[in-house]
Amino acid sequence: MRDNPILTAMGGVLVVIDKVERVAAGLLVLFISAVIVLSVLFRYFFGNPIIWAEEACIASFVWLSFIGASIALKRNRHIRIDTFVKYLPKPGRVAMRGFAALVASVLTILLASLTLEVIPVESQTLTVTLPFAVSKAWMFSVPLLTSASLMAVTSVYFLGCALAGFETEDQLPGLAWTTATSVLDNL
pLDDT at 172: 65
Q: In the structure, what pLDDT confidence band is assigned to residue 177 with cuts at 50, 70 and 90?
A: low
Phi-psi region of 179 (alpha: psi -120 to 50; beta: other; left: phi over 0): beta
CB atoms within 10 A of CB 129: 11
pLDDT at 115: 95
pLDDT in tens, 19-62: 999 999 999 999 999 999 999 999 999 999 899 999 999 999 99
pLDDT at 174 over 70: no
pLDDT at 56: 92
pTM: 0.84
Which of 59, 63, 61, 38 lies closest to 126, judged by CA?
59
pLDDT at 184: 40
Which whole number is the average pLDDT over 144-156? 96
Q: What sign does the dihedral 29-27-121-69 (CA atoms) show?
A: negative
pLDDT in tens, 65-110: 999 999 999 888 887 777 888 888 888 888 988 999 999 999 999 9
pLDDT at 44: 92
Q: Please, how many CA atoms are within 13 Å of residue 68, restricted to the half-sphere of its CB?
A: 11
pLDDT at 85: 83
d(CA 60, CA 134): 13
Write down the mean pLDDT value for the chain.
86
Which whole number is the average pLDDT over 134-142? 91
pLDDT at 86: 83
The secondary structure of the chain, three-state, reads: CCCCHHHHHHHHHHHHHHHHHHHHHHHHHHHHHHHHHHHHHHHHHCCCCCCCHHHHHHHHHHHHHHHHHHHHHHCCCCCCCCCCHHHCCHHHHHHHHHHHHHHHHHHHHHHHHHHHHHHHHHCCCECCCCCCCCEHHHCCHHHHHHHHHHHHHHHHHHHHHHHCCCCCHHHCCCCHHHCCCCCHHHC
Which of 168, 144, 152, 67 lies closest to 101, judged by CA?
152
pLDDT at 62: 96
Q: For 47-57, b where at least 16 C-beta lie within 10 A, e where not — what string?
A: eeebebbeebb
- Domain ranges in the chain are 5-172
Q: In the structure, what pLDDT confidence band is assigned to residue 6 with cuts at 50, 70 and 90?
A: confident
pLDDT at 5 over 90: no
